[in-house]
């Protein structure tokens, strides 16, 4: 709003200006009705103080003194300060003064105050208890989920002399019966984590032969051993007796995967062979999609799909139908290095994680129904092995060049939760305990390290932990 806006006619000499070009003279404005209207500005007016003064004039607490003529004199009007007004207004509304008494002498006249006290708790059982009347009916508040402590140091470290430093082999596995199998050059050792007993299962016969892979069957009683001499041996672990030898490869067998009575083997000859261990002629299918050595092989928990990774940087997914036809279901070519690390998700049947070698360094996640890559994370180091947490949405990766660490990731955001260090060479293999709480890692520094990374449940009693040094003495025999 504009106050005292000047008119737009020429006001020089107080008369309308004549138009030098002969325009008609303007009619003068009327003095009263046609004059410019004065619009006052009230921006600086204190309405609170004005209201207080008005109340005073109408007979409020501070009525102005009358003049000699009987009417209020403007000179005698009391104008209290704004602070005094606010003080009196507060006392009027809240019903109390500085002494805590009501303006009308009644504390109950206060607004925003309880008229009566809250009812006293009843203990005679005749009605609701007082505290229950004001408590929530939703029950106790849920406890906040505590962050799990992740130990940064291994529970124990065991020597593993002559553990081969070869990225393409798979030399470690943990059975459902809590027995750990580790291959050291040409010998397979078994350590019973429940009792602490250690035994030598087998040893290769030829001087140039060595163990290239080990894999436990689902029953925890039988174990498959792949050798450099292209054999797949089936052993009864309880009796330490070889049951049979499966042939079909022409080069070392570095990858093994069980699916019930079906055993899949991958070799340097680029073949994946499916065996039925129940029949005499065990070879059921030969899968020839890879161009180079097969170094990763895993069946899904449901047994419906098989994943194979190779030194040709390829990842293939097979199902029972495609295996029967000798063709793959999906060909996944996004890795830029050898694909050894494979892990099927325990809580989503069609989710597969894969890891690439030094030139790739990525962990990729795949929808194996569609073949789509869901995510890819650059870990900045060679990915050697992957293990899912069975109880949480987490995945653990082990790495080679250059930090030789284990990394725990939160899925699906892939936020790094922890880094476990201590190995001095690349961490080639990992295996998970039956209860899912502990992971053992095997590295080229010839050590095994046990990490309590997935939980706090002990897999063995104190009695079974004591003989661990016996395992070390047995394995350390060179």
Question: Do residues 270 and 246 lie in contact, with contact meaning Cβ atoms separated by under 8 Å?
Answer: no
Residue 431 lies in a domain: yes
Residue 19 lies in a domain: no
Nearest to 347 by CA among 430, 436, 219: 436
CA quadruple 299, 216, 229, 335: dihedral sign: positive
Question: What mean pLDDT comes out for the span 336-362?
Answer: 97
Question: Do residues 40 and 33 lie in contact, with contact meaning Cβ atoms separated by under 8 Å?
Answer: no
Residue 28 lies in a domain: no
Residue 462 sits at φ, ψ, to 5 deg, of -60, -30
pLDDT at position 208, please? 93
Q: Residue 254: which CATH number?
A: 2.130.10.10
Q: What is the mean pLDDT of the chain?
A: 79
pLDDT at position 138, please? 55
pLDDT at position 249, please? 98
Sheet holding 330-332, edge to edge: 294-299, 305-310, 315-319, 330-332
Nearest to 352 by CA among 321, 383, 396, 317: 317
Q: Is the pLDDT of residue 446 over 80?
A: yes
Q: Is the pLDDT of residue 79 over 60?
A: no
pLDDT at position 477, please? 26
Residue 433 lies in a domain: yes
Residue 186 lies in a domain: yes
pLDDT (tens digit, 9 = 90+) per residue, 360-417? 999 999 999 999 999 999 999 999 999 999 999 999 999 998 899 999 999 999 999 9
Q: Tell which wins on pLDDT, 424 or 460.
A: 424
| DSSP characters over 392-433 | SSEEEEEE-TTT--EEEEETTTTEEEEEE---SS-EEEEEE-
Residue ranges of alpha helices (H) inside 33-154 are 47-57, 82-94, 130-133
If you count DSSP H runs as helices and E runs as strands, how many of each does the chain have, helices first? Answer: 6, 28
Q: Is the pLDDT of residue 70 over 90?
A: no
Number of domains in the chain: 1
pLDDT at position 59, please? 56
Question: What mean pLDDT comes out for the span 140-165?
Answer: 83
Judge residue 390's burial from the number of C-beta atoms within 10 Å of its C-beta, 0-12 exposed, 13-18 middle, 19 or more buried.
middle
Residue 369 lies in a domain: yes
Residue tagged 């046609």 (tokens) = 34
Structural domain of residue 357, as residue ranges?
157-475
Residue 427 lies in a domain: yes
Residue 54 lies in a domain: no
Q: Is the pLDDT of residue 253 over 80?
A: yes
DSSP state of 66: B
Nearest to 253 by CA among 316, 323, 151, 171: 171
């Amino acid at each position: 709003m504009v106050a005292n806006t000047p008119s737009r006619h020429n006001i020089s000499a107080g008369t309308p200006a004549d138009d030098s070009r002969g325009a008609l003279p303007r009619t003068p404005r009327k003095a009263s009705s046609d004059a410019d209207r004065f619009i006052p500005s009230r921006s600086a007016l204190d309405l609170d103080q004005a209201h207080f003064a008005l109340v005073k004039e109408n007979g409020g607490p501070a009525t102005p003194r009358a003049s000699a003529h009987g009417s209020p004199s403007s000179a005698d009007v009391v104008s209290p300060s704004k602070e005094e007004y606010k003080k009196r207004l507060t006392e009027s509304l809240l019903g109390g003064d500085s002494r805590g008494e009501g303006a009308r002498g009644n504390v109950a006249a206060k607004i925003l105050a309880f008229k009566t006290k809250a009812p006293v708790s009843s203990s005679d059982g005749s009605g609701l208890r007082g505290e229950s009347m004001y408590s929530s009916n939703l029950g106790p508040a849920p406890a906040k989920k505590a962050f799990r402590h992740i130990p940064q140091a291994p529970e124990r470290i065991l020597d593993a002399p002559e553990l081969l430093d070869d990225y393409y082999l798979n030399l470690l596995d943990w059975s459902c019966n809590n027995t750990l199998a580790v291959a050291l050059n040409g010998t397979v050792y078994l350590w019973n984590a429940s009792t602490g007993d250690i035994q030598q299962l087998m040893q290769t016969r030829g001087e140039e032969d060595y163990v290239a892979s080990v894999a436990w069957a689902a029953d925890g009683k039988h174990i498959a051993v792949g050798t450099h001499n292209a054999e797949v041996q089936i052993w009864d672990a309880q009796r330490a007796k070889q049951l049979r030898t499966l042939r079909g490869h022409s080069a070392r067998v570095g990858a093994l995967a069980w699916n019930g009575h079906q055993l899949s083997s991958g070799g340097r000859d680029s073949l994946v062979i499916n065996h039925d261990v129940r029949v005499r002629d065990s070879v059921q299918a030969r899968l020839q999609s890879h161009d180079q050595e097969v170094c990763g092989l895993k069946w899904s928990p449901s047994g419906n799909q098989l994943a194979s990774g190779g030194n040709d940087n390829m990842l293939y997914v097979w199902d029972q139908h495609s295996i029967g036809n000798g063709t793959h279901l999906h060909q996944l070519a996004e890795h830029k290095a050898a694909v050894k690390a494979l892990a099927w998700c325990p809580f989503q049947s069609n989710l597969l994680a894969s890891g690439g070698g030094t030139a790739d360094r990525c962990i990729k996640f795949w929808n194996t129904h569609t073949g789509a890559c869901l995510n890819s994370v650059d870990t900045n180091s060679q990915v050697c092995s992957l293990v899912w947490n069975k109880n949480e949405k987490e995945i653990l990766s082990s790495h080679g060049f250059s930090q030789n660490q284990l990394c725990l990731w939160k899925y699906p955001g892939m936020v790094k939760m922890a880094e476990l260090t201590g190995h001095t060479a690349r961490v080639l293999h990992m295996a998970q305990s039956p209860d899912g709480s502990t992971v053992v890692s095997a590295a080229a520094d010839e050590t095994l390290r046990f990490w309590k990374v997935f939980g706090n449940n002990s897999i063995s009693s104190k009695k079974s932990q004591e003989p661990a040094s016996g395992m070390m003495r047995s394995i350390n025999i060179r």
